[in-house]
Structure 1
Amino acid sequence: MSSWRRRHCFPLGWNWHTNRFLFHCFVLLFLLFFMFLLFNNNRWLPRQIIYRGIVEVDNTYSFQSKVSESIPKVFQKLVVSRSKNNQSNHRKVQYRRLPTVEITSNGASQNTPHYGYIINEAKKCQKSTPFLLLLISVEPQQLNAREAIRQTWGKEDLFPGIQIVTLFLLGRDAKGTGTTDQTIINESSQYHDIIQQNYLDTYNNLTVKTLMGMHWITTFCPKVAYVMKTDSDMFVNTEHLIYGLLKPEIAPQTNYFTGYFMKGYAPNRNKKSKWYMSQELYPGDLYPPFCSGTGYVFSGDLAEKIYKVSLSIPRLHLEDVYIGVCLAKLGIKPVPPPKESDFNIWRVYYSDCVYNQIVTSHQFQPTELLKYWNQLQQNKHACSKTHK
């Protein structure tokens, strides 16, 4: 049987034992030729990757969601770009070291202005120019947090004669909580205070979210006097912010930026830390002065300046640090607030008179926010306070 196979598989005169080496060489050459064809023709890639592409975003690298679900991990380090000189729509494939990966539902390059609005409130500032615009970073599934803020410090008609605009900044649900697009659309139709763009709402995309707010102000509300960017788990004493800090009776400041002032902070190089910053992303030994992202306040003119300068600065995932880098490039220095106790990155023990004289306190659940806000409104007059 063995000799039959050899006669019918190889030509006469072929000596299997003496020419095995030649056979192995032939197989090896065939494999090398096949691999050459494989890696020099993009058509072997999954069809969706060729058609839609994998897009590099900022200093995080974002895969389009419909593509990434089926991409093996080995391919998640591919950055695909269209060849300008190739008329056949093939793509050049390059390998790059990726510091972090975020999955988005659309692609945007470093200099793309924004990710496209899913929900927008373009007419918010058309009737009149607000004195204060509240930009609140919140996740799509945090319905209770948004409702609590609407009933407390984010209520737009709190103070007669002072126009406040409240906007919640959202991306797309990244946690699979079942919060559907239609749910958000219904909420927006009722309250008209939601801005949502087409990126995944994750911690590493907080910088994208803040720049979304800056872009919105630049486009739709450029004359606003002051802006406060803060988070959904914050207690904000809007009254003290307006009358104690911003003082509407005087002309608005320009190039003004304040909050919980942070100076002399070094990058965290511990890879296990939430605030890890690689040497590759930020090689410097110290961050420029910045204000904690839990809550900072700036003059309206800075929104456009920060947004425009950000187009030339590689993104960092630490949002407050990144805004500090933008300010440093602009030559604008954040300033400490009038009182060190005005802004807090921790939860301050509640007292009517203490909370009557601060701007922010951290880590509040929606039920707690409602409870202490209502208590403050009932008891604040018992505390000595002078509006200047």
Structure 2
Amino acid sequence: MKWKWKHIAAVLCLSFLGALIFYVFQVDKVWQIVLYLPGNANPSEEGDHTGDNTGDQTKQMTRNVTTQVSISPTPGPFPYYIIRESNKCPEGKPPPFLVLLILTVAGEVEARNSIRQTWGDESLAPGLGIIRLFLLGVQESKLGRLQQKTLEAESLRHHDIIQQDFLDTYYNLTLKTLMGMNWVAMHCPRASYVMKTDSDMLVNTVFLIHKLLRPELKPKTNYFTGYIQPSSVRATIRDKSHKWYMPPEEYSNEMYPDYCSGTGYVFSGDMATKLYGTSLNIPLLRFEDVYVGVCLERLGIKLTPSPGGLFIPWRVPFSRAIYRNIVTIHHIDPGRMLDYWHKMFFKWEWV
């Protein structure tokens, strides 16, 4: 009888131990994210591929982020950088004329390489300065962990990737965009202009710089332009089956404010700090371009209409005459990007 009770006790102890181990692993899946406000970067930071260490003077806010697939925006923003590239815009050198913030995911290696060889080439504007940055979150699958190693090697080679500790999902594009604005505010606040765009876009950087922004002129301030969405598509959608469904508890108004298509918009360098700072007081929304529009409305800054047809948020059949005189075209795969760019600029000439 004594042996029986000892056996039962041993089984119960083993069961409790197994449950405790499972719990510990589950808790390990919760990330403690540290929020760095612009201008409060940790001075003790030594590397770009390590998490930030917090200092006594760092303003911070910790939140929990679970690794489950996100169906709504993850609370944030959290500028906890896995890959930072804080030396990309050194203080001792003239500030860049243009910073390109390009949203991508780990598996889009071919797209990133095509962009590096075409419109994201940092040598396109000699004497002016272009900074190219690819923006990423993290993926928690086995494939995602393998891709992370490849991504870190790619970063060491090209030094054009920044990454934070949030899930890289569709509804976290807002966080990804805020990460880019945070980086500009912290590390490159004197940049003349910033462009946010996506990895499946073809951007005519030459036209953007020399024909739209015009470096011979004094840089603008409080400037924000792109494809301004017409009022016909600014009504909030309450149909739960629709891709762009917006829950009323997330955004209660029936109309969105004026906003530019997230496929590509350009703003003056001063706007990065203003938008990021404003975002700290506005709950996140699942649609990045709408959210930026809400921040602009809070700031009281009006969108600047661009000359007609320069920002195109859809695909247009290739025409050298058209492509050389626009800023953005959507849905361009890596192969076409290389081909079209070569046809647009045979020897990088501009007339």
TM range (shorter): 0.7 to 0.9
Equivalent residue, structure 2, for 1:324: 293
Cα distance in structure 2, aligned partners of 1:54 and 1:194 = 21
1:122 aligns with 2:86: yes
State the TM-score, normalizing by the size of structure 2: 0.79
**2:79/2:182 contact within 8 Å kept:** no
1:162 aligns with 2:128: yes
Q: How far has the Cα of 1:280 moved from its partner?
A: 1.1
Equivalent residue, structure 2, for 1:64: 66
**2:204/2:328 contact within 8 Å kept:** yes
1:314 aligns with 2:316: no
Equivalent residue, structure 2, for 1:132: 98
Letter matched to residue 343 of structure 2: Q
Q: Secondary structure at the match of 2:337?
A: helix
Letter matched to residue 374 of structure 1: H
**1:233/1:362 contact within 8 Å kept:** yes
Letter matched to residue 314 of structure 1: P
Equivalent residue, structure 1, for 2:203: 236
Q: Secondary structure at the match of 2:182?
A: helix
Cα distance in structure 2, aligned partners of 1:52 and 1:347 = 40
Equivalent residue, structure 2, for 1:287: 256
**2:221/2:271 contact within 8 Å kept:** yes
Cα distance in structure 2, aligned partners of 1:235 and 1:62 = 37
Q: How far has the Cα of 1:286 moved from its partner?
A: 0.7
**1:235/1:364 contact within 8 Å kept:** yes
Range with greater deviation from structure 2 (266-275 or 227-236): 266-275
Q: How far has the Cα of 1:128 moved from its partner?
A: 2.6
Instruction: Pick closer, same or farther for the CA change 1:101–1:294 going to 2, 3 Å.
Output: closer
Q: Secondary structure at the match of 1:298?
A: strand
Equivalent residue, structure 1, for 2:111: 145
Range with greater deviation from structure 2 (222-231 or 175-184): 175-184
**1:118/1:196 contact within 8 Å kept:** yes
Q: How far has the Cα of 1:162 moved from its partner?
A: 1.8
**Bigger radius of gyration, 1 or 2?**
1
Please list the CA deviations of residues 53-79 of structure 1 after superposition, one character each: whole Å capped at 9, or x if unmatched: 69899xxx97423xx59xxxxxxxxxx
Instruction: Pick closer, same or farther for the CA change 1:355–1:268 going to 2, 3 Å.
Output: same
Equivalent residue, structure 2, for 1:275: 244
Equivalent residue, structure 2, for 1:207: 174
**1:346/1:363 contact within 8 Å kept:** yes
CA RMSD of aligned residues (A): 2.7
Cα distance in structure 1, aligned partners of 2:24 and 2:312 = 51
Q: How far has the Cα of 1:298 moved from its partner?
A: 0.2
Cα distance in structure 2, aligned partners of 1:257 and 1:101 = 27
Q: How far has the Cα of 1:259 moved from its partner?
A: 0.2
Cα distance in structure 1, aligned partners of 2:114 and 2:26 = 43
Please list the CA deviations of residues 158-198 of structure 1 after superposition, one character each: whole Å capped at 9, or x if unmatched: 12222100000011135654543221111011100000111
1:194 aligns with 2:196: no
Instruction: Pick closer, same or farther for the CA change 1:131–1:46 going to 2, 3 Å.
Output: same
| Number of aligned residues | 298
Instruction: Pick closer, same or farther for the CA change 1:336–1:62 going to 2, 3 Å.
Output: farther
Q: Secondary structure at the match of 1:180?
A: helix
**2:204/2:323 contact within 8 Å kept:** yes
Cα distance in structure 2, aligned partners of 1:369 and 1:285 = 38
1:52-91 correspondence runs (5 A): 63-65=65-67
Cα distance in structure 2, aligned partners of 1:153 and 1:52 = 39
1:360 aligns with 2:328: yes
Q: How far has the Cα of 1:52 moved from its partner?
A: 7.4
1:377 aligns with 2:341: no
Letter matched to residue 124 of structure 2: L
**1:356/1:380 contact within 8 Å kept:** no
Letter matched to residue 197 of structure 2: T
Structure with the bigger RCO (C-alpha within 8 Å, sep 6+) is 2
Equivalent residue, structure 2, for 1:4: none
1:185 aligns with 2:152: yes
Instruction: Pick closer, same or farther for the CA change 1:47–1:123 going to 2, 3 Å.
Output: closer
Letter matched to residue 150 of structure 1: R
Range with greater deviation from structure 2 (340-349 or 294-303): 340-349
Cα distance in structure 2, aligned partners of 1:282 and 1:357 = 37
State the TM-score, normalizing by the size of structure 1: 0.71
1:298 aligns with 2:264: no
Q: Secondary structure at the match of 1:157?
A: coil
Letter matched to residue 83 of structure 2: I
Structure 1 unmatched ranges of 5 or more: 1-42, 70-98
Instruction: Pick closer, same or farther for the CA change 1:360–1:333 going to 2, 3 Å.
Output: same
Instruction: Pick closer, same or farther for the CA change 1:129–1:46 going to 2, 3 Å.
Output: same
Cα distance in structure 2, aligned partners of 1:160 and 1:56 = 39
Instruction: Pick closer, same or farther for the CA change 1:54–1:280 going to 2, 3 Å.
Output: farther
Equivalent position to 2:216, from 239, 249, 252: 249
Q: Secondary structure at the match of 2:309?
A: coil
Instruction: Pick closer, same or farther for the CA change 1:343–1:52 going to 2, 3 Å.
Output: closer
